[in-house]
Amino acid sequence: MSEKPAGTAGTPGGSDVAAMWQNSPPGSLYDYIRVASFSLGPDGRIEQWSERAAELFGIEARQAVGKDPLEVFAPAVPGQRSEPTAPFLGEGGLDGREWTGLVPYRRDGHEQGLAEIYVMPTENERGERAALCVAVDVRALRAIETDIAASEAVFGQSPLGFFFFGTDLTLLRVNESFAQTFGRPAGWHRGRTPHDFLPRNEADRLTSALRQVLDSGKPVSDIQLVGPVPGRSERRRWSVSLYRLHSGSGRPIGVAALATDVTGRRRAEREAAGVRRNLALLNEAGARIGNSLDLEVTARELLDVAVPQFCDLASVDLYQGLLVGDEAPPGLADGSGELRRVAYASAVSGAPVDGTDKPIQVGEVHRYPFQSPCAAALRTAHVQTVPRRESEEGPELGAVVQSTLAVPMVARDTVVGLVQFARTKGSEPFGERDTALAVELAARAAVCIDNAWLYRREHERALILQRSLLPPGAPEAAGLEIAARYLPGNTATEVGGDWFDVIELPGHRTALVVGDVMGRGLRAAVAMGELRTAVRTLAMLDLEPAEVLSALDEIAHGLGTPGGKQSASRGVRGSVRAADLSEVYLATCVYAVYDPVTRRATVANAGHLPPVLVEAGRPARLLDVLPGMPLGVGGEPFEETEIELPDGALLALYTDGLVESRDHPLDEGLQAFRDALTDPARPLEEVCDHVLSALDTHHGEDDIALLMARLRGLPETHVGDWTLPPEARSVARAREMARDQLQAWDMADLVDTTELLVSELVTNALRYGEGEIRLRLLLDRTLVCEVWDGGLVQPRRRRARDTDEGGRGLQLVGLLSAAWGSRRTPIGKTVWFELALPDGDSPPPDAVEALLSLY
C-alpha cells in the first residue's frame, strides 16, 4: 500500500488532512487479529458479507447473503436438531441492544473454531432496525494475548538489558535491567539517542552500528562500549548485540538490542592473562633454571628468566660460606652473614637495584645492615618490600627504581641467599600475585643451589639406587618382542627420574610403562622408585589403565605433601618444604596394556608425550591419545584410548629427553624421531641403536628412556574360546573341550591338571556367578585358562574344616597352578589360573596328591 497522502493540497487545512488521512503501511495489528464484518437486515438475515468474513469462515458472499446466520455458522447436520435461530437475533441487535458473545462456526460441515461476535444496532434509511456485526477469530486473539504475555515476561524479567530503537534511532522502550546497567531510570531513556547516555565516540559507534543493522538486516554481536555510569567512579564496559525487528508483513520497524555489563569479565580476563603470563614464566623457569651444578650459572639463569619478562632489574646474593665450603652452611639466624653478589641483570642502564648510593658490584662480598629490609628477609625467610629511596646522585640512578622485592632463597628449611627484583618508573608496581611468583622463582633457583650442595654426597647413593630400580636384563612378554635403552642426563651423576617397565598381566596381557619424575638428583630417583613400585602394585590388581593412573596420581600427590594434606599450610618452613617436595613429585606417565589375543592396546596418559606407532609401508605416527594432567596435580580424571595394532608393527614409548633439548624444539625432535623409525622389520635392538645414533642424545640435559615393542599377537590356533550355558552339564562339557584342545596342542601332560581346575572354576561360576559362562585357553610361554561369568562377587579362598564336604576348590587351584587370580570385567568377573609348560625335566604337579593334601 502506498503511503502517499490522500488529502488534497490547496484546500483549507489540506496539509493537516494529508498528515492524518493516508494509507497505513502493511503489517498493522489487523493483519494479526484478522477482523471480519457482516451486517443483518431488518428480517434478521445477512445483508452484507465482507471479504474478510469469507476468508475467516470459509464461506463466499453468495452463500451467506440472504440467509439466516444460524444456517451460515452452524448448518444443520442430518439427524440432529438445530436451534430455531441465532441467539443474538433475539437477545440483541435487532431489538436495539448491543450483544457480545462466542459463536462456534463450521467449515465444510465440521467444527472448525470459535468466533467472538460484537453486534451493534443500526437503522437503515427507512428507519428499520438492522445490525452491524464484527467478528474476531478467538484462536488468533488468544495467541496474540499469549505472545504479548510471554514477550512482557521476557522483557521485564530478563537479567539482560533489553532496549528497542525506532527507525529514527531513538529509544522506544528499555527494561529495568538496562536501566540499572546504565544507571538511569527506565522512563528517562524513552525518546533518547545514544549520544544522551554514552560518550561521543562510543555513541557514534553505536549509532553507526544501528544504521547498519537497520539498513542491511544483518545482526551485529558483541559491540564493546565503554563509558561512565552516574553515581559510580569506575568506568564500565558493556557488550551490546543488535538485530532488526520486523512487522508481520516483514517491514522493518526498528532495532532490538541486548546489553550486558562485562566490566567484571574484562577484569577477570586481565587477571587470567596475568596468570597465564606467570605460568608461562614459571614454565620457562622450570626449563632454563637448574641445568648446571654451578651456582653462579644457576643464578644467571634465574635472572635471564626474570629480566625483563618479570622485572627491570635483579640481583642474586649467596652466603659466602656456601660458595667456599664443601658442606651446606646453616646460615646466620640474624641475617648478618657475609654474602657475595654472584649475578646482576638490568634492562635499564645505570640503575642500582638496592637503592643505595653506591651499587654493589658482581663478585663483591658485603653485609646488609641489621635494620635493613634485606637483612629482615634473610632473618625471617619472608619477602620484604624495600622502600623507595632517592639517590643523591640524581634521577638517573636513585629515582628510577620505584618498587623492589627482597626475596629469600630457601632450600631445605635453610636460607641460602637473597634475590632482589626491582621495577622502574613506568612499570606496574609489584602486586600480591607478583610477590607469589617472585617467591616461586627464588624457590626454584634455591632448589637448584641445594642440589649443588648435595651433589657429592648424593652421587654414590643415587648411582646405586637408580641402577637397582631399572628392570634387569631384557624384559619378556607374551606376544611382544621388547628392547629398551636408558641414558642418564649427566654421565657424572647418572641420576634422574625417568623410568620404564614391562609388567606381565593375567591373560597373557602386558603393561608397558614409561614415566618421568620432574626434577633431578636423589630425591627424583627416590620418587621414581616409589612411583614405579606403586605402578607394579596397582598393575597386579588388574585395574584399567585410567584407574591405575588415578590411583598413582593420589599416591604422587601424597608423596609431595609431608605428613599428608593437612600439614601443607603449617608455617613458613612447613610450606616451603611442601612446595619443594611437590616440585619433585610431579611426574608424567603413559600406561599401555596390550592384549595379544584381540591385538588391541588400551592407553592412558598422564601429561606424557604420546607413543609412536610404526606400521609396514606407512610413516611413523604419534598415537592420538588424550594427554591428561601430570601425576601429583590431584583431582583430575584420566581417559583411556583403545587402539587396534597390527602384527609386526612397532610401538615406541619414550621420555622427553630423547626428543627435546636446548638446541632444538620439541616438534623438531618428534619429527626426527619419526624419521628414524622407517623400517619396522629390522631387528629391534638395531632399531634402538639406530634411533639413539640418529637423534641428539648427548646433550646431557635430561635422562632418556626408550621402550620399544614389536607386536606379535597370539595365533588363532593358540586360542581356545567357548561359551557355555549356565547349566550343570556345562561342567563336563568344559572338561571335554579343555582336554581336546590340550591334546591338539600336544600338551597331554597338562590334561589331568587342567581338567580338574577347569571343573572347579566352571562349577564356581555356576554356583556363584550369573549368566553365560565363557571358557578360554591361551597358549604362549605358559598355559592360561580363564573362566568368565556375569557375577560381581569375587572368589575368596577359605580354609575348609575336615568335616566340610566342599570349600577346597580354590585351595586346589592355588596348589596346582603357577599363579591364579580374579579380575573385574565391565559385565562381571574373570577367574584365571596359569600353568607352566612341561619342559621334560620336572614333571607337572600331581593332581591326586594335591587333592589328598587338602584333607
User: Could you read off the pLDDT of 22-69 as tens digits, one per residue?
Assistant: 555 555 566 667 788 999 888 888 999 998 888 888 888 888 898 888
Average pLDDT, the chain: 78
Res 232 pLDDT > 90:
no
Any idea which of 61-75, 182-196, 465-479, 594-608 has the lowest mean pLDDT? 465-479
Q: Cβ distance 813 to 834 under 8 Å?
A: no
What pLDDT, on the 0 to 100 scale, is given for residue 602? 94
User: Could you read off the pLDDT of 544-565 as tens digits, one per residue?
Assistant: 899 999 999 888 887 756 554 4
What pLDDT, on the 0 to 100 scale, is given for residue 111? 59
User: Could you read off the pLDDT of 518-528 as tens digits, one per residue?
Assistant: 877 667 777 88
CA distance 254 to 635: 51
What pLDDT, on the 0 to 100 scale, is given for residue 787? 92
Give the distance, in angstroms, between the CA of residue 531 and the centroid of all CA atoms in the same chain: 26
pLDDT band at 446 (very low <50, low <70, confident <90, very high): confident
pLDDT (mean) for 212-228: 85
Most confident of 247-251, 434-438, 812-816: 434-438
Any idea which of 329-343, 629-643, 687-701, 816-830 has the lowest mean pLDDT? 329-343
pLDDT (mean) for 263-288: 77
Q: Rounded to the nearest 5 degrees, what angle is found at the Cα of 629, between the Cα atoms of 698 and 298?
A: 45
Q: Cβ distance 478 to 715 under 8 Å?
A: no
488 versus 825: which is more confidently predicted?
Answer: 825
User: Could you read off the pLDDT of 723-756 as tens digits, one per residue?
Assistant: 999 998 989 999 999 999 999 999 888 888 899 8
Any idea which of 192-196, 625-629, 702-706, 837-841 has the lowest mean pLDDT? 837-841
pLDDT (mean) for 472-498: 74
- In DSSP notation, 265-318 reads HHHHHHHHHHHHHHHHHHHHHHHHTTS-S-HHHHHHHHHHHHTTTT-SEEEEEE
CA distance 96 to 691: 108
pLDDT (mean) for 843-847: 61
pLDDT (mean) for 367-371: 86
Neighbours of 634 (CB within 10 A): 15
CA distance 98 to 434: 82
Closest CA to 604 of 648, 539, 518: 539
What cell numbers appear for 657 in the block? 629427553
Before 230, cis peptide (omega within 30)?
Answer: no
CA distance 442 to 232: 41
Any idea which of 17-26, 119-128, 679-688, 694-703 has the lowest mean pLDDT? 17-26
Q: Cβ distance 201 to 247 under 8 Å?
A: no
Closest CA to 401 of 384, 421, 375: 421
Any idea which of 61-65, 69-73, 145-149, 298-302 has the lowest mean pLDDT? 145-149
Any idea which of 181-190, 463-472, 541-550 has the lowest mean pLDDT? 463-472
Neighbours of 55 (CB within 10 A): 11
Provide CB contacts within 8 A for 147, sequence distance 6+. none
Closest CA to 791 of 773, 810, 768: 768
CA distance 131 to 44: 8
Percent of the chain with pLDDT over 90: 15
Res 827 pLDDT > 90:
no
What pLDDT, on the 0 to 100 scale, is given for residue 418? 92
What pLDDT, on the 0 to 100 scale, is given for residue 239? 84
Q: What is the 3-state secondary structure (H, E, C) of 484-549?
A: EEEECCCCCCCCCCEEEEEEEEHHHEEEEEEEEECCCCHHHHHHHHHHHHHHHHHHHCCCCHHHHH
397 versus 272: which is more confidently predicted?
Answer: 272
- pTM over 0.85? The answer is no
Res 574 pLDDT > 50:
no
User: Could you read off the pLDDT of 74-101 as tens digits, one per residue?
Assistant: 665 555 555 555 556 555 567 778 888 8
348 versus 649: which is more confidently predicted?
Answer: 649
pLDDT (mean) for 668-682: 86
What pLDDT, on the 0 to 100 scale, is given for residue 350? 57
Using the structure block, give the residue that is written with the C-alpha cell 563336563: 732
CA distance 290 to 489: 13
